[in-house]
A and B are shown apart, each in its own frame.
Chain A
Amino acid sequence: AQSVTQLDSQVPVFEEAPVELRCNYSSSVSVYLFWYVQYPNQGLQLLLKYLSGSTLVKGINGFEAEFNKSQTSFHLRKPSVHISDTAEYFCAVSYRKTSYDKVIFGPGTSLSVIP
């Protein structure tokens, strides 16, 4: 069975400091990896995704993530956070389940940027 773990449910960080949000997954089939962000009272929107090729993926708003197959991880990083980055961040995996595609979301990490 496929699963997604985000070990940190809450991450407080000071403005302009770097941040890393961790994501690990477990899967018996090949997966594609995504990070979504949910700003307060809004729907989710894509930050970045890894499909193939370079394991370092750059996304919107200065975020990047690195796919590590041996560690089954896809951690999200930003070198300097802003107040506006305060949001909920979701890691997700998609895979082929028998005859259809499925996406599983992790439990989310709440990033709070402190002025």
Chain B
Amino acid sequence: DTAVSQTPKYLVTQMGNDKSIKCEQNLGHDTMYWYKQDSKKFLKIMFSYNNKELIINETVPNRFSPKSPDKAHLNLHINSLELGDSAVYFCASSQVSRTDTQYFGPGTRLTVL
């Protein structure tokens, strides 16, 4: 069973388009995250949700909007895509505590042309 799944795995699109990435976890975790990994492998947190409530919103353009319909799902919608949005986006989940392991999805490679 896949613990944290993301769809799609690859996403190629034109500048200016709107796209969504879906994430689901079956671990029963309370907290979910979105990370962006750039071409140099640097990993930066974008958002964190706890029980459908937004906890962390780093300095991310408001073109990015996370949506959590329930605590097992955290989707990422991106409006007006730009070249600089090209990256690998990872979803992750954990229990609430800061001592807990984060479980990562396989990533979605977004390429904006």
**Is B12 part of the binding interface, using a Cβ–Cβ cutoff of 8 Å?**
no
Say whether, besides A32-B98, A94-B99, A96-B98, A102 and B41 are in contact (CB < 8 Å). Answer: no
Bound CA span A38–B41, Å: 10
Residue in B40, B41, B42 whose Cβ sees the most chain A Cβ within 10 Å: B41
Between A and B, how many residue pairs show CB distances below 8 Å?
Answer: 58
Bound CA span A6–B53, Å: 32
Contacts of A102 in B (CB 8 A): 45, 48, 56, 98
8 Å CB contacts to B: which residues of A41-65?
41-46, 49, 51
Given contacts A43-B106, A94-B98, A100-B55, 9 further A-B pairs with CB under 8 A are A32-B99, A44-B90, A44-B92, A94-B99, A100-B48, A105-B43, A107-B40, A108-B43, A110-B41
